[in-house]
Structure 1
Amino acid sequence: MRLTTKQWIQVILSMAIAIWIFWFLYKDISFRSLQNALRETSLFWMLASVIISLLGFYLRAWRWKILIIASEKSELKTSVTFAGLMIGYLANLLVPRAGEVVRCGAVSKMNDNQVGTLVGTVVVERTIDLLFMLLTVFLGFLLEREMFLSLISDLVSTESLLNKLLGMLPVVIGGGLITVIFLYLLFQKYRESNLIKKVRHFIRDLVSGIFSLRKVENQWGFWGSSVAIWVIYYITMIFVAWAIPSTASLSLGAILMVMVMGSIGMLAPVQGGIGTFHALVAFILMAYGLSNEEGKIFAVIIHSVQVLTVVVLGMACLGYFFKITSDKTSKSL
């Protein structure tokens, strides 16, 4: 994937912000403290967290595969979608949000699927994941209601926020209408151009991918794997909490809140959630009584293990990708 100058600027800027947040968080944490925490960390539970997370990656790849098959009615191996998924995660560590496009391109090259359709299935995936994330936040609210309300009252004035939203509503509606009218007029003027035809073809494939959810034959498998993915994410967080002495005594509800905050931190447009993940996880752990140092060390350990896993698997899957594509090139000659 080639980046324009503007995109390179965005990448460098997001990386600079991530590094600055990370430095600001950890500038007062001594390396010796991190060494001591690592020495006390249970290797057994840490390895268990990695193994269970691998199952989560596999389920994501399998779920994506059945979406693609429903959309294109084509043969596809889970190993191909797994490779595409991990290559995409690897790309996200370099360019925020690029992984979604990269993984579609990788699978398209390995299995000759339409990129537009693949992007549509990814949109479905992300929509479902957002739904489950909201359900997880709601579950966290039910289990840790007092802590949740305390955090919200400390961070945001609900009345002030509501007044600001109501004040901005006319501007948002007006701006949206103007944008829609402008795009419609632009489309009418250039509807027969090659670029517009390509865009229309891409959108048609995209919509086809989105509606592929209705065509999935294994609905139990799709929704069951969607639930299992988030359960596995939670179990991974539990295993890491048990691995580190300072967090081993946290309640299951508290660990769920850590998972919620970590998920929100990963949504930020920075490489791999660097900085934002650490800040939110450390923040919620301090709310549960851990020290500033303990919260930040937990965040850096769990994030580093996740990143290392993605890098190792991503590089291995890149090798698989090059093997598949080179074999296809050789056969076509």
Structure 2
Amino acid sequence: MNPTLKQAIQVVVSLGIAAWIFWLLYRNIEFDSLRAQILSSNWSWILLSMAIAWGGYWVRGWRWSLLINQQEGERVTPNRAYHATMVGYLVNMLIPRAGEVARCGVLSRTNGISLGHLLGTVLLERSIDLLFLIVTIFLAFLIENQLFISLTNELIDAGSLGRKILENLPLFLGAVAVLVLVLYFVFKKFRNNGLLNKLQGFFRQMLSGIRSVRTLDNPAGFWASSVLIWAIYFLTMYTVSLGIQSTANLTSGEVLLVMVMGSIGMVAPVQGGIGTFHALVAYILIRLGISETDGKIFAAIIHGTQVILVMLVGLVSWVWMVRIPAWKKPDMG
């Protein structure tokens, strides 16, 4: 299949899934309810959340610049890394995960640094972000452990699950048999291609990348900025919650839980987390005692304001990067 056509199909399917989830979630929400909530919100807090998020994008750009090897091409300044990062976020709104390649591409053009090296730094960034997401989930569990246990019991009712398995034992055994066969043929097919070795290699590279942070010129700055990025994620969510009447009384621990669910929703391979972010954030807010309508509107407001921010700031950064001439290797002769 033509690569361009394949990519177009993936984009359409991803957007279709996002639109379907979004429609299912909001089909019963009246526009007047959304409008009333927007008008009654304290926009000073919401605008502050957007300003905090904007600062977080710059911190992310600065952190990226710390990872980039300055022995090739032109030194990457934090400001230029920030603009390239925003171009990546903008592209991600259209094509999931393509933003990582896009931001590396524009920086490679302007600074003459190899695309492979830049992609390697992005992989390391993602490994660190995954590590911090796991730490944040654990922190949320420590703070709101009773709610965590309650949610787990609701989602996984061992007794009910056991009864359903016994009631549908032939179907369950058939499903297990099919799964085993599928796994067998998948591993048999890819065994010669070294799939398992590649997976093991990936995890080895991730651990190696984490260790390599120690060799940076400013490892303390890298780790401090990583902590700051996740603190900014929390502050962005917290300030929005203060600006909306229905969520203004949430505790910091509860907001942390909402942030965790939202972060998981953003990981889904759909444009900008559309649908998945809204569904997970609304779900946890409903469990916290917020009405279904208010929970969904909260998710729409925070996601919508962040999308607007990314589009506006990302377009500015795209124009900024396009105007920079392509880097040329200095003439040594």
Q: TM-score, length-normalised on structure 1?
A: 0.84
The aligned amino acid for 1:141 is F
Given the alignment, which residue of 164, 177, 190 partners 1:179?
190
Deviation at 1:69, TM superposition (A): 3.1
> Which segment is superposed worse, 146-155 or 95-104?
146-155
Aligned residues of 2:238 and 2:252 also touching (Cα < 8 A): yes
Deviation at 1:178, TM superposition (A): 5.2
In 2, Cα distance between equivalents of 1:210 and 1:71: 21
In 2, Cα distance between equivalents of 1:115 and 1:211: 22
1:61-80, Cα deviation, whole Å (9 max, x unpaired): 00000100368585111121
Aligned residues of 2:61 and 2:78 also touching (Cα < 8 A): yes
Question: How is 1:48-127 mapped onto 2 (pairs within 5 angstroms)?
Answer: 48-69=48-69, 75-127=75-127
> Which segment is superposed worse, 151-160 or 36-45?
151-160
In 2, Cα distance between equivalents of 1:210 and 1:112: 25
Deviation at 1:179, TM superposition (A): 2.2
Say which SS state the counterpart of residue 249 (structure 2) adopts: coil
Match for residue 224 of structure 1?
224
After superposition, the CA RMSD in angstroms is 3.1
Consecutive unaligned residues in structure 1, runs of 5 or more: 185-205
The aligned amino acid for 2:324 is I
Matched, 1:279 2:276: no
The aligned amino acid for 2:193 is F
- Give aligned pairs, total: 308
The aligned amino acid for 1:316 is V
In 2, Cα distance between equivalents of 1:49 and 1:87: 21
In 1, Cα distance between equivalents of 2:3 and 2:189: 30
The aligned amino acid for 1:253 is G
Match for residue 302 of structure 1?
302
Match for residue 253 of structure 2?
253
Distance 1:158 1:310, change over 3 A: farther
In 2, Cα distance between equivalents of 1:288 and 1:211: 39
Distance 1:255 1:209, change over 3 A: closer
The aligned amino acid for 1:130 is L
Aligned residues of 1:266 and 1:272 also touching (Cα < 8 A): yes
Match for residue 190 of structure 1?
none
Say which SS state the counterpart of residue 69 (structure 2) adopts: helix
Q: TM-score, length-normalised on structure 2?
A: 0.84
Question: How is 1:91-240 mapped onto 2 (pairs within 5 angstroms)?
Answer: 91-157=91-157, 175-176=186-187, 179-183=190-194, 213-240=213-240
Consecutive unaligned residues in structure 2, runs of 5 or more: 163-171, 196-205
Distance 1:29 1:109, change over 3 A: same
In 2, Cα distance between equivalents of 1:288 and 1:270: 26
In 1, Cα distance between equivalents of 2:102 and 2:138: 32
Deviation at 1:237, TM superposition (A): 0.6
Alignment identity in percent? 45
Say which SS state the counterpart of residue 28 (structure 1) adopts: coil
Distance 1:22 1:261, change over 3 A: same
In 1, Cα distance between equivalents of 2:116 and 2:226: 23
Deviation at 1:207, TM superposition (A): 12
Deviation at 1:235, TM superposition (A): 0.7
Match for residue 265 of structure 2?
265
Deviation at 1:152, TM superposition (A): 1.8
Q: Which runs of 4+ in 1 moved over 2 A?
A: 69-74, 156-161, 166-184, 206-215
> Which segment is superposed worse, 39-48 or 256-265?
39-48
Distance 1:39 1:215, change over 3 A: same
Aligned residues of 2:72 and 2:112 also touching (Cα < 8 A): no
In 2, Cα distance between equivalents of 1:322 and 1:215: 33
Aligned residues of 1:70 and 1:212 also touching (Cα < 8 A): no
In 2, Cα distance between equivalents of 1:121 and 1:71: 14
In 2, Cα distance between equivalents of 1:211 and 1:114: 22
The aligned amino acid for 2:133 is M
1:155-198, Cα deviation, whole Å (9 max, x unpaired): 2356979x99x9968975884575242359xxxxxxxxxxxxxx
The aligned amino acid for 1:259 is M
